[in-house]
A = this chain, B = another copy of it.
């Protein structure tokens, strides 16, 4: 088995976790040769001589086989990963934003340079969703993927439901527990989930979907009244990322708060956990579940990728890389739309209205809406309008 020299970018929560584990596990036959960081003055739990602030100390070192990229900044990460691949180094990354935004280019670079680019940790932390989509579901016809893929928002929603906390308090608690970024906008606005969904879709269906084309609503517009409605109906609210593939080959990628029955599989996924349902023609519904955020779960996924590089594992993308989705939606779904009285919403986009409720404090309407109409309604971007899917 190859002895691998690793160059590590970033020494945050996950980077330090990786360092710790690799130092303790000699059987992996790996060696962290250099760690590039931004702030040389911070106290670090590793020997000083390992650290550098110069990316070149890793990228220009021919003895380093693997670059593990774990920095926050997606643009800087892209430059590092691009250079590393072009220098014939394999790369492990957890940067979903960078990957979603440059997926095709990164895959081409991997092919051209005949190296591996692995990123299991970028999607659902420790849950091996990409590896399973690549290896195990490469022949069975997949019909849909549906999952809770963002640990931070799920943690917040769980707190809001079970401990009746306010959004602000739940977000604070998520940050304190290391499940939310210092700038949580990407999480709570659904962008992170859309990035992950975009990555999942390529591995599940062989289709390239830009996260910008995904119909998306985060959790910031959810109001207390929405949770009361859910509780009355015995439902819980989860931020669900999903994509169905119909018989004509149309995709329906969507990230939106969704009412889930408590007893349903996704209702089981609480706190920082992630879970993904995979619906297929033969195997019916399968479910993968595990911790989606935090030091060790993410480290676990990064380590699995490093370990796979020992035997030159690659994502083969056997389903191909087809284009063909540019934000066109053909189906309708049932939604709950909540808003403050006095807001003039164009309710005509409801194909039919099932319930309509007004009080002095709140109004809501439930009924089916064409996704194409919802996308153009302005409600997704409007922070005072709750949109929840059934």
Contact = CB atoms under 8 A, between A and B. Distances in A.
B268 A297 contact: no
B307 A139 contact: yes
Interface in A316-348: 316
A127 to B, nearest CB: 7
Interface size class on chain A is 35 or more
A283 interface: yes
A288 B291 contact: no
A136 interface: yes
A284 interface: yes
A265 interface: yes
Contact of A284 (B137, B265, B290, B307): B290
A303 B138 CA distance: 10
A280 interface: yes
A77 to B, nearest CB: 23
Which of A140, A283, A288, A300: most chain B CB closer than 10 A? A283
Copies of this chain assembled into the complex: 2
Interface in A136-192: 136-140
A301 B288 CA distance: 16
A309 to B, nearest CB: 11
A18 to B, nearest CB: 10
A25 interface: yes
30 contacts: A17-B282, A28-B139, A126-B283, A128-B136, A131-B132, A131-B136, A137-B304, A139-B303, A140-B300, A140-B304, A265-B268, A265-B289, A268-B268, A280-B300, A281-B296, A282-B296, A282-B299, A282-B303, A283-B290, A283-B300, A283-B301, A284-B290, A284-B296, A286-B291, A287-B288, A287-B289, A287-B290, A288-B288, A289-B289, A311-B316
